[in-house]
Every structure is written in structure tokens, then in C-alpha cells.
Chains A and B, each alone.
Chain A
Amino acid sequence: MPTLTIDGVEIEVEAGLTVLQACEIAGKEIPHFCYHERLSVAGNCRMCLVEMERAPKPIASCAMPVGDGMVITTDSETVRKARNGVMEFLLINHPLDCPICDQGGECDLQDQAMGYGFDRSRYAEEKRAVKDKDLGPLVSTVMTRCIHCTRCIRFATEIAGVPELGATGRGEHMEVGTYVEKALSSELSGNIIDLCPVGALTSKPYAFNARPWELTKTESIDAMDALGANIRIDTRGAEVLRIVPRNHDDVNEEWISDKTRFACDGLRRQRLDQPYVRKEGKLQPASWDEAFAAISEKAKGASSDKIAAMAGDQADCESMYALKELLNSLGSSNIDCRQDGANIGGGSRAGYLFNSTIAGIEDADAILIVGSNPRLESPVLNARIRKRFLQGPVSIGVIGEEVDLTYRYDYLGAGPDTLAEVADGSHKFAKALNKAKNPMIIVGSGALARSDGAAILGAARKIAEDTGMITDDWNGFNVLHTAASRVGGLDLGFLPSAEFSYGDMDVVYLLGADEIDMQELGDAFVIYQGHHGDAGAHRADVILPGAAYTEKSATFVNLEGRAQRTQLASFPVGEAKEDWAILRALSAELGKTLPFDSLADLRSRMIAATPSLGNLDEVTPAKWGEFGSNDAMASGAFISPIANFFMTDPISRASATMADCTTARDGGSDARSGTNG
């Protein structure tokens, strides 16, 4: 490992690092704009100049690999002068917009100008002005502010895999944009807002809403998909103003999808802020007591096998645990957390987890994707597969829909026929899996949420076993869920003990379940506990207003089986309460008081029942076991459950921004604007 001297201190670093990285390891902060650790090196902003012994002039540290015996000075007269010069050039064409710029207060250029800028300008000539670009409903542009760091271009090309941004023209006339006016066709486009070191790319929905120092920042977990991206929720008063990513190398790196980032305006619309009870066919505002009384009357009259509950896609573990305990105490085991009817759970835990882990994708050398469109079902996970694709040879096969996944793959077929061929080893992709050291299979909801889902799961398990995906240190069997609540629900055993039909029930308790066919509930008395007036609330006879994922401390288990906890960023609206507390209060009303009085009590009982929920931010490898069936698979192509990426849950369906995105993507036509995506 090379040893170099940085400001008089000797340090040994890994070979292949850059001088800038070595300086950061040595605790020396180097100012920079274009350098970003997750993007390729561009070396064009020149802000990271340092002095190197025996070099005739300052070097750009971000582009200089470390060498043995280098002597680096990061803070000398020359270095400061060089950086002052660079800063002066950067500011020549940069407008004095700070007072009206949304980046103000969190702007790299502003911060570094404090250190290296000159307090007045020597530039008397005309400044350049650049026409703003239209990048769609999410990203607002003020291109005159652009300093040409090309981070956004590199992100779009490398990470997002949509090479639509570029620099046209040259010199004075260079402009960053798409050249042809169009919105970025990426589900990750919002990340260029974070990457932009100046105010050229800012958030359109958040424009002129707040200054960063006014915001309360709460570190939390996303519940828009099953990835469990680490997020920071920025609130002012009761309002969630924006959501930005937090770094977690094993989960989302530092990216989040556009839905995670921009659906938060849905938290302000269509909210259930007080209980409702249906009287004379109409939902009427009611008090909590009235609502509980109405439930109590029905529930006490119903026989225990006619009571059922369904947990929705954003239900948290605590409330599912409480609901399960409540139903059990009422003598019913008619509970389910699989709104889409996916044939999973019940068997081994390995049968419904993303066992390879998200970071493990980078170790895979053959990937078979079955019945999933990861680009829509989990864009950040898809970016991980693309990252693997860019790292070197990997064979990727897809059985399902033939869509642009941002990387090249072999299209094997549309449905179970092809899967059967791979399973019996006659397909040539089976050989690729056999040859691979770390093969993996990703089974999506498109393959599992159908009547032959168990058979497909069984076929996938056979492939995993036959092609050597299951070894002591590698498990290549993966299920890609679309719901944040799913793995938590399955871990808790939120499953029916015997098959039942919701249509036969007298009382149905919907815990934020909106994506089922409400017609199927028949004449049942429906209790809806949730935060948005969506499909479930419309059907309900009693509405109990709950909390959204930003409004409670709750446990979510991501698709790897990693338990993570959200934090309360703002309080539930109006009379709404945290979900576990509603269930606890209702249980007392029903005379079946649940044995916990606080969230801590509930958690200790829940963790006692399901220990994996207590190991926060840890992935416990699941033991391989029996799951799936050996029945014959039906025919019919695998279709991804997500038709409209931007609208998949009550929050995103209530979001005006997501509606704008849908319109922009469809070019104004309503052909694909199904809200039941």
C-alpha cells in the first residue's frame, strides 16, 4: 500500500485511491464541485488543487492516483492562491442569485466562496446568460447558475442509465441539457437535485417553500416500496416539505426514487383527520367514542370466524402485531398481509426474502429476473443491478415483460413455459447459471401474485437448488417485493391459518388496505384504519384516522429482512392517532384489552414473538427450507403489478406532483393513468 505525506503527516492508504480521497482519510477537507465518490472522475472544476512536491504546478487531487512517496500540501500559499483563482473564474458567470436561489444555505458554491472567494468582482464585462431547460415536473432549472461540473450528466449516464443529459456547444457556449426539450425518463431523476453543487437544478415542487435552516430534520425510513430507503424528512411545523436521501451503503447508497422523494405533498391532501361512521348510507363525522361504539356493536354480534383483517402495503409491524393479537383474542385467524394475493409466506423465511441482500447484487455473476420489472418496482435496487452490469461481465436473463431496464439483458421468454425450461435445465440460460460462481434469481410479484404463484415459487426454488445458488456463504434466491409492509407482515405471521374468503365475512378490518377489489368484500361491515381517503375509506362503514409513515415511530422490514425504524417527523393530522394506539384503545372497547400500555411494551412483546424485528439495521441470514409447491404452472405471461410507477399507494395517489409526473410521462393522454397500479 502506498505511503504518502499529507501536510507533514505520513499516511498509508489503499492503492488506487485518489489524492483527494487520501487527503480526506487524513482528515484534510479538500474543496470540490465536480468530484463525487459514486460517479466517475471528471476533473473539470479544478477546485481541488493541491501542491505536490516535484510537480511544476498544483495538481487536481480528484484525478491524481496516489503514489508511494508523494508529498502533498493541501494548505499553502500557492494552493490558496490557485483555489482563489479557480473560484474567481467560477464566479465570473455565476449570477448573484443567492437571495432568490433555493440552494441558498446548502450550496457548495456559496460555502466554498466564503473560504476562497474574493469579496468583490474584478469582472466588468457582460455575463453570460443561458436559457433554462425543461426537465419535466420534478427538476427546476436555472442554467445560468450552472458551473459545468457535469455531475448530473454523469449520474444520468452512469447510475440512472438514461444517457439523455449532455453538454452541448463548447467554451463560452457550453450548455448542460437534453438538447431536445424533454423530461428525463428516469425514476431516479430527483437525485440530480442533490448532486447539483449549485442552484442550477433544484426541486420544482419544493421551489421557494423554505430555507434549509428553517427545517426540522428527522432521520427516517421510506415506505413507498419494499427497499426501505433511508431518508431524511424535512418538516416545518406540521408540514412535511421535502424528503431527501440518507446514505446507507447496504440499502440505497445515497439515492432514492422520485416517488420516495416527491410523493410527500400527498401527505397534505385527502387526509382522514377524524373518525367517520356510516349512517343512512353516508359517512358522517363522528367522535372516537361513537366510532368505537359502532364497531363494538357489530363485532360483538359477529361470530368469530366471520371476522377478518387485511393489512395494507404501508402497514407497520407494530400495528400489524397489535391487529393480529386483537383478532386472535376475538378468536379469529382470518388475517392476511398480502393484498395482491402473492403466494408466499408460510414456509421457510428464505422463501420470501431477498436473501442475497441488496449489496450482494454486486457479487452476483449471473442474474435471472422472473416476473419483475425492477425498474418500476424498486428503482434504486435496479440501479444496483445496473452498477453490477457496469462492473464487468455478468449474464442477466429476464422472463417476463421485455422492457428497458437500463442495462442489457437476454430476453428469455414471457411466462412459465420458459421458466419451466430453465428449471429442467434444458434452457441455455440454465447453463449460464450453472457456470456462475454466485448465480442469483429474482422473483417478482408479477410471477407470485397469481393463482399458480406457489408452483412458480417452487420452480424458482428448484432453479436455485439445481444451479448451485444455495451454498454456505451465498444464497442466490431472492423475492422482490413491492410493499413496504410485506416482509414485516410475513415475519409476524400475519397470515391466515386456513383459507377463507373476504366475501363471506361479516366484519372486515382494513389496516390501510386500499389496493384490493372492494367489490369482493360483499356486504361485510368494513372498518378502515388509515391515513388517506382512498378506496378503502370510500367502502368503509367506520373510518379510524391513523398515521402515515412520517407520523409515527414504527418498524418496517425491508425486502432483505432488515428491520428499520421510522421516526416521528410530524404529528398525525387532526384527531388521528398512531396506529398501534388506536388498536389498543379499540381492544379495550371490545373487552379484549391487549396486554400492553405503551409502544415500548408492545415492542418488547413483538420482539419476543419475532426476534428478527429487534435486530435493527441487521440482516439475519435465513435458513434454507421448504417453500413453494411442485404443482404444474399455468400459462400466461408474467405482468409486473406496477402499471403506473408514480401512483401505487394512497399517499402517491393523493400527490399532485405524482399526478403531474403521470401526465408528463403519458404526454397528456389518460390511456395509462390507472390509479390502481
Chain B
Amino acid sequence: MSTQVGNFEQPAEFAFTSEVMKMAKAHIAKYPKGRQASAVMPLLDLAQRQHEGWLPRAAMDYVADLLDMPRMIAYEVATFYTMYNLAPIGKHHVQVCTNLPCWLRGSDKIVDAAKRNLGIEMGGSTDDGMFTLSEMECLGACVNAPMMQINDDYFEDLDETSTESILTELKHGQQPKTGSQIARKTCEPIGGLTSLKSNAGKN
């Protein structure tokens, strides 16, 4: 989301709530005095979480001023990383990985299922503001390909059915099961352990 797209209103002001401010101070305290600007990334993230999942310009200005750094640098950081959203976004941000391992394992079908279920195209949002569908580069869960990320949760080993059921559950306000959607513990081999069996259960 490196560029601002579409027409939407930028709020005029932004400020951390007192709880968020506490977390922000904890981040700033991690860095030596005078190096507070290093906390820009966690603070932008906090701002985004506080502001319905997206970063208005006022929030970038606020973070930059709070850290006593040029506003331009905050813009540079926020536009560089895809995890900062610079335009309003749905409550559930459905991010489907379409990189090579996921694609080989059928991510096209996952994308189709999501489009069908939500009735939106890639990059679009549902009218009720509940879902935004995005295409992601590798999210680092290749062992469990294909996968998608919704807000902070990973949903792995997907197929069309499980994708649709996850989205449907979210529509009904339920919390779907995160992680692997098949009988598999995290990224262990499908069908049980094949090696180091004697250590199984010890960890």
C-alpha cells in the first residue's frame, strides 16, 4: 500500500490514546537517548492499529513530531513498507499469498474462492467495509502453502472450501480456527512425524 489511492477524507488530527501512548513510550525507551527516531516503525504500527487499520497523514505527522524527526522520513518509512495501509481499509484485511510456492499449490483457486465469496476484485473492499482483499508477496509460510493472512492471523493449507468457510465465519462475527486448516500440527509433516520421533512430545 505504498501509494494513496482513491478519494477519501484525511482526518485533520490524530493523537495516541493514553493506553497507546504507554505502549509507545515503552518502544521509545528501548532505544538510546537521542536515537528515539528508531522507534518510528512500531509507533506507526500502533497508530495504524488505533486508527481502524490505516494510517492517515495526520498520524504520520503525529508520530514524526513525537519522535522529533522530519515528517518526510515518516512518510518515507510508511510508504516503503506494504504493511502500513495509507487508505481506509476493511475491518478484515484478507491478504492472499500468490508467490511461487503458494501458486504451485493452487493459490489461484484460493484467490478465486475469496473473490467469489466476498464479491469483490483484488484490491477492492466490500461495500459494508468489512473486507478488503489484497494480493501479497511471500508471507514466509511456504511449508503450509497455500495460505492467507487476515489481520494478524495466518490461515494455512487452504483449499477452496476452507477459504470460503473462514470468510463466512468472519462474516457472521465468529473467530475461525487459525493456522493449518488440515489435520496437521503447525508445519510438521502431513501424516505425522518421519524423523526424530524419539524426541516427539519432549519439547
Name the one of A157, A166, A170 contacting B2, with C-beta atoms under 8 angstroms: A170
Least CB distance, A651 to chain B, in whole angstroms: 34
B76 near A166: Cβ-Cβ < 8 Å: yes
- The interface on chain B, measured as residues whose beta carbon lies within 8 A of the other chain's beta carbons, has a size of 11
* Chain B, 64-93, CB within 8 A of any chain A CB: 70-73, 75-76, 79-80
The yes or no answer to A167 lying at the interface (CB within 8 A) is yes
B72 near A173: Cβ-Cβ < 8 Å: no
The yes or no answer to B3 lying at the interface (CB within 8 A) is yes
Known contacts A169-B80, A170-B80: does B3 contact A163 (CB below 8 Å)? no
The answer for the CA separation of A544 and B5 in the assembled complex, in Å, is 61
The answer for the CA separation of A164 and B70 in the assembled complex, in Å, is 7
A163 near B2: Cβ-Cβ < 8 Å: no
B70 near A168: Cβ-Cβ < 8 Å: no
The yes or no answer to A165 lying at the interface (CB within 8 A) is yes
The yes or no answer to A178 lying at the interface (CB within 8 A) is yes
Q: Residue-by-residue, is A150-184 near B (CB-CB < 8 Å gives 1, otherwise 0)?
A: 00000001000001111111100100001110000
Residues of B within 8 A of A157 (CB): 70
Least CB distance, B83 to chain A, in whole angstroms: 13
Least CB distance, A230 to chain B, in whole angstroms: 31
Known contacts A169-B80, A170-B2, A173-B3: does B75 contact A179 (CB below 8 Å)? yes
Residues of A within 8 A of B73 (CB): 163, 166
Least CB distance, B140 to chain A, in whole angstroms: 19
B79 near A169: Cβ-Cβ < 8 Å: yes
The answer for the CA separation of A165 and B76 in the assembled complex, in Å, is 10
A169 near B3: Cβ-Cβ < 8 Å: yes
The answer for the CA separation of A178 and B57 in the assembled complex, in Å, is 13
Known contacts A173-B2, A173-B3: does B76 contact A167 (CB below 8 Å)? yes
Q: Residue-by-residue, is B175-199 near A (CB-CB < 8 Å gives 1, otherwise 0)?
A: 0000000000000000000000000
Least CB distance, B80 to chain A, in whole angstroms: 5
The answer for the CA separation of A90 and B63 in the assembled complex, in Å, is 35
A165 near B72: Cβ-Cβ < 8 Å: yes
The answer for the CA separation of A163 and B68 in the assembled complex, in Å, is 12
Least CB distance, B82 to chain A, in whole angstroms: 9
Residues of A within 8 A of B75 (CB): 166, 168, 179-180
Q: Nearest residue in A to B78 (C-beta to C-beta)? A: A168
A168 near B57: Cβ-Cβ < 8 Å: no
Q: Nearest residue in A to B79 (C-beta to C-beta)? A: A168
The answer for the CA separation of A314 and B161 in the assembled complex, in Å, is 82
Residues of A within 8 A of B2 (CB): 168-170, 173
The answer for the CA separation of A240 and B35 in the assembled complex, in Å, is 49
Least CB distance, A186 to chain B, in whole angstroms: 13
The answer for the CA separation of A173 and B2 in the assembled complex, in Å, is 8
Q: Nearest residue in B to A162 (C-beta to C-beta)? A: B70
The answer for the CA separation of A179 and B76 in the assembled complex, in Å, is 9
The answer for the CA separation of A504 and B3 in the assembled complex, in Å, is 68
Residues of A within 8 A of B79 (CB): 168-170, 179
The answer for the CA separation of A194 and B79 in the assembled complex, in Å, is 28
B72 near A164: Cβ-Cβ < 8 Å: yes
Q: Nearest residue in B to A180 (C-beta to C-beta)? A: B57
The answer for the CA separation of A178 and B72 in the assembled complex, in Å, is 7
The answer for the CA separation of A179 and B75 in the assembled complex, in Å, is 7
Residues of B within 8 A of A178 (CB): 72
Residues of B within 8 A of A168 (CB): 2-3, 75-76, 79-80
A179 near B72: Cβ-Cβ < 8 Å: yes
The answer for the CA separation of A399 and B2 in the assembled complex, in Å, is 45
Q: Nearest residue in A to B60 (C-beta to C-beta)? A: A179
Residues of A within 8 A of B76 (CB): 166-168
Q: Nearest residue in A to B61 (C-beta to C-beta)? A: A180
Residues of B within 8 A of A179 (CB): 72, 75, 79
Residues of A within 8 A of B70 (CB): 157, 163-164, 166
Least CB distance, A486 to chain B, in whole angstroms: 36
The answer for the CA separation of A86 and B3 in the assembled complex, in Å, is 27
Least CB distance, B134 to chain A, in whole angstroms: 15
Least CB distance, B73 to chain A, in whole angstroms: 7
A163 near B80: Cβ-Cβ < 8 Å: no
Residues of A within 8 A of B71 (CB): 180
Residue of B3, B57, B72, B76 most packed against chain A (CB within 10 A)? B72
Q: Residue-by-residue, is A178-219 near B (CB-CB < 8 Å gives 1, otherwise 0)?
A: 111000000000000000000000000000000000000000
The answer for the CA separation of A166 and B79 in the assembled complex, in Å, is 11
Residues of B within 8 A of A163 (CB): 70, 72-73
Least CB distance, A156 to chain B, in whole angstroms: 9
The answer for the CA separation of A180 and B61 in the assembled complex, in Å, is 11
Least CB distance, B67 to chain A, in whole angstroms: 13
Q: Nearest residue in A to B69 (C-beta to C-beta)? A: A163
Least CB distance, B202 to chain A, in whole angstroms: 44
The answer for the CA separation of A169 and B3 in the assembled complex, in Å, is 7
Residues of B within 8 A of A167 (CB): 76
Residue of A165, A173, A179, A180 most packed against chain B (CB within 10 A)? A179
Known: A157-B70, A180-B57, A180-B71. 20 other contacts (CB 8 A): A163-B70, A163-B72, A166-B70, A166-B73, A166-B75, A167-B76, A168-B75, A168-B76, A168-B79, A168-B80, A169-B2, A169-B3, A169-B79, A169-B80, A170-B79, A173-B3, A178-B72, A179-B72, A179-B79, A180-B75
Could you list some 18 contacts between A and B, CB below 8 A?
A: A163-B70, A163-B72, A165-B72, A166-B70, A166-B75, A167-B76, A168-B3, A168-B76, A168-B80, A169-B2, A170-B79, A170-B80, A173-B2, A173-B3, A178-B72, A179-B75, A179-B79, A180-B71
A interface residues, Cβ below 8 angstroms from B:
157, 163-170, 173, 178-180
